[in-house]
Amino acid sequence: MNSSKTFRNYLLVAPQTLVFVLFLVLPIIAIAIVSFWNFNGFAMTPGFTLNNYLGIFSSRVYLSTYLNTFKFAFLVWLFCLLISYPVAYFLAFHVKSPKWQTILFLICTVPFLTSNIIRMISWIPFLGREGLINQALMGLGITNQPVEIFLFSDFSVILAMVHLYCLFMVAPIFNSMMRIDRSLVTAAEDLGSSPFQIQKEIILPLSASGIAIGSIFVVTLVMGEFATMRIMSGGKSSSVGYLIKNQLDSLQYPLAAANAVVLLIVTLIIVFAILRVVDIRKEL
Amino acid sequence: MAEKKRSLSYYLLAGFFGLFVLFLYGPMSAIFLLSLQGPEGQLTFPMRGFSFHWLKAVFEPQRVGNFVDGFGRSLWLGLIVMLITVVFSVMAGLAFRRKFFGSNLIFYLTISSLIVPSILVSLGIGILFSIVGLDNQWYSSALAGHLTWTLPFAFLIMLGIFGRFNPSYEEAARDLGASDTTTFWQIVFPLIASSVIGVGLLGFTLSYDEFTRTSLISGETNTLPLEIFGMTTNVTSPALYALGTLTTLFSFGLIAIALVAINSLSRQQTR
Prediction ipTM score: 0.88
pLDDT of residue B105: 93
Smallest Cα distance from B83 to chain A, Å: 13
State whether A126 and B118 contact (CB < 8 Å).
Answer: no
Residues contacting residue A237 through CB under 8 Å, at least 6 positions apart: A68, A154, A157, A229
Check: CB of residue A85 under 8 Å from CB of residue A93. no
Q: How far apart are CA A106 and CA A116, in angstroms?
A: 18
Nearest CB to A131; choose among B44, B109, B215: B44
Q: How far apart are CA B77 and CA A230, in angstroms?
A: 26
Interchain contact A96–B (C-beta under 8 A): no
- The DSSP bridge partners found for residue A45 are A38
Nearest partner of A238 among A154, A117, A118, judged by Cα: A154
Nearest partner of A175 among A38, A248, A69, A283, judged by Cα: A283
Interchain contact A131–B (C-beta under 8 A): yes
The answer to which of A47-51, A142-146, B116-120 has the lowest mean pLDDT is A142-146
More confident residue, A218 or B8: A218
Check: CB of residue A176 under 8 Å from CB of residue A214. no
Check: CB of residue B217 under 8 Å from CB of residue B126. yes
For the stretch B212-249, pLDDT in tens is 899 888 888 888 888 888 888 877 778 888 888 888 88
State whether B215 and A227 contact (CB < 8 Å).
Answer: yes
- Give the residue on A whose Cα is nearest the Cα of B93: A13
pLDDT of residue B62: 59
- Flag whether pLDDT at B21 surpasses 90: yes
Smallest Cα distance from B4 to chain A, Å: 13
State whether A19 and B148 contact (CB < 8 Å).
Answer: yes
pLDDT of residue B4: 46
pLDDT of residue B6: 57
Interchain contact A13–B (C-beta under 8 A): yes
Q: How far apart are CA A283 and CA A116, in angstroms?
A: 28
Most confident listed range (A105-109, A168-172, B1-5, B160-164): A168-172
- Flag whether pLDDT at B270 surpasses 70: no
pLDDT of residue A219: 94
State whether A27 and B151 contact (CB < 8 Å).
Answer: no
Give the pLDDT band (50/70/90) at residue A151: confident
Nearest partner of B56 among B70, B36, B26, judged by Cα: B36
Which chain B residues are Cβ-neighbours of A23 within 8 angstroms? 121, 125, 128, 144-145, 147-148
State whether B127 and A91 contact (CB < 8 Å).
Answer: no
State whether A132 and B212 contact (CB < 8 Å).
Answer: no
Torsion of CA B106, B109, B111, B113, to 10 degrees: -140
Q: How far apart are CA B134 and CA B132, in angstroms?
A: 6
State whether A248 and B123 contact (CB < 8 Å).
Answer: yes
State whether A31 and B123 contact (CB < 8 Å).
Answer: yes
pLDDT of residue B3: 45
Q: How far apart are CA A151 and CA A131, in angstroms?
A: 9
pLDDT of residue A235: 77
- Flag whether pLDDT at A160 surpasses 80: yes
State whether A12 and B92 contact (CB < 8 Å).
Answer: yes
Interchain contact A227–B (C-beta under 8 A): yes
Smallest Cα distance from A228 to chain B, Å: 10
Nearest CB to B124; choose among A28, A124, A284: A28
Nearest CB to B45; choose among A5, A122, A125: A125
State whether A20 and B98 contact (CB < 8 Å).
Answer: no
Half-sphere exposure for A75 (CA within 13 Å, toward CB): 15
Q: 10 Å Cβ neighbour count for A230?
A: 23
Smallest Cα distance from A58 to chain B, Å: 23
Q: How far apart are CA B80 and CA A39, in angstroms?
A: 37
Residues contacting residue B249 through CB under 8 Å, at least 6 positions apart: none
- Flag whether pLDDT at A1 surpasses 60: no
State whether A223 and B23 contact (CB < 8 Å).
Answer: no
pLDDT of residue A284: 61
Please give the mean pLDDT across all residues of chain B. 86
pLDDT of residue A181: 87
pTM summary value: 0.89
Residues contacting residue B58 through CB under 8 Å, at least 6 positions apart: B64, B67, B239, B242, B243, B246
Most confident listed range (A129-143, B109-123, B185-199): B109-123
- Give the residue on B whose Cα is nearest the Cα of A247: B123
CA A105 to each of CA A172, A173, B45, B150, B212: distance values in angstroms, whole numbers, following the listed order: 12, 12, 31, 21, 26
Strands (E), chain A: 38-39, 44-45
For the stretch A83-111, pLDDT in tens is 999 999 999 998 888 889 988 998 898 88
